A and B are shown apart, each in its own frame.
Chain A
Amino acid sequence: MPLIDLANPSRFLALSGRLLPWLSAATLIAFAIGIVQVIGAPDDYQQGATAKIMYIHVPSAWLSMFIWGTMSIAALGTLVWRHPLADVAAKAAAPIGAALTLQCLVTGSLWGRPMWGTYWVWDGRLTSVLVLFLMYLGVLALWRTIEEPARAARAVAVLTLVGAINLPIIKFSVDWWSTLHQPSAVLRLGGPTIHPSIFVPLVVMALAFFLLFLTLHLAAMRNEIMRRRVRTLMLMQADAAAGR
């Protein structure tokens, strides 16, 4: 099937309906394997078992940025190509991104308290991720503020593209500024610095969270398409009642 065919919401519903059970099963399997590997992973030589928080903190951190990146591509789809599913994709991704950014902040805080002696510090990495979370909340609020979906989509697309400036700031904050947060140990030039016995479970958990995002995103996009159909039908009903 050519990619452009997915621009048709009905075809998207049919295809995603077939994909969702497989994606859900793959997500469950990936989490089952990941959790078994996390339980069997050795403690860190400095942090002990506390490093196990990494297996949920790091994937949510990666996804919080990946989802905003996805929303930015969808924003281009809305503003440049006016793809019918672009703003549906952006709207469906935002709550998932907000939730996973919150997960990143809370688990990071719970990791920071025993390791750094504080839940929070206003350094570059933590503050830029907090700004990302606030931007997610801003996008969610904007979707609710403007009733007409097409107008809301354009306003959200502009905000999303402006907010994308924060992504490199988050990534390089640990290099640009003095911070309590450790520098990149996986996504860095020269390869990961983590031992395979810890790195492999981290990658499996990251894959599991990525599959979870794909599953939830497809399901939320289907819901959004249905919500727009409901809106159209209700407008038709109102027009009919008014005799137009």
Chain B
Amino acid sequence: MDLGPHAAFIVGAYAVALLIVAALIGWVLIDNRRQRQILSDLEAKGITRRSERSPERQS
């Protein structure tokens, strides 16, 4: 594919778009892992929401 005399601008634009999309995907995945980790740490300490507690613990 011949991108002509302005190939650097075209490739640069697509590289920027790829970088931004990759950063967004990375942000969502890392944030998800982090929140899950904190929730499971809290759960391991016995700190859960009332709706998630076992019936024995609620009584």
Give the CA-CA distance A70 to B38 in the complex, in Å: 30
- Top 3 closest A-B pairs, CB basis? A226-B35, A114-B6, A107-B13
Q: Do A227 and B49 touch (CB < 8 A)?
A: no
Q: Do B28 and A110 touch (CB < 8 A)?
A: no
Chain A residues in 8 Å Cβ range of B36: 226
Chain A residues in 8 Å Cβ range of B4: 43, 48-50
Please tell me the number of chain A residues within 8 Å of chain B, measured between CB atoms.
39
Please tell me the number of chain B residues within 8 Å of chain A, measured between CB atoms.
33
Give the CA-CA distance A158 to B47 in the complex, in Å: 35
Q: Do B28 and A230 touch (CB < 8 A)?
A: no
Q: Do B49 and A216 touch (CB < 8 A)?
A: no
Q: Do B28 and A60 touch (CB < 8 A)?
A: no
Interface residues of B in 15-41 (CB under 8 A from A): 16-17, 20-21, 23-25, 27-28, 31-32, 35-36, 38-39
Contact A114 B39, CB 8 Å, known A39-B1, A49-B2, A223-B32: no
Chain A residues in 8 Å Cβ range of B32: 219, 222-223, 226
Chain A residues in 8 Å Cβ range of B9: 50, 53, 110-111, 113-114
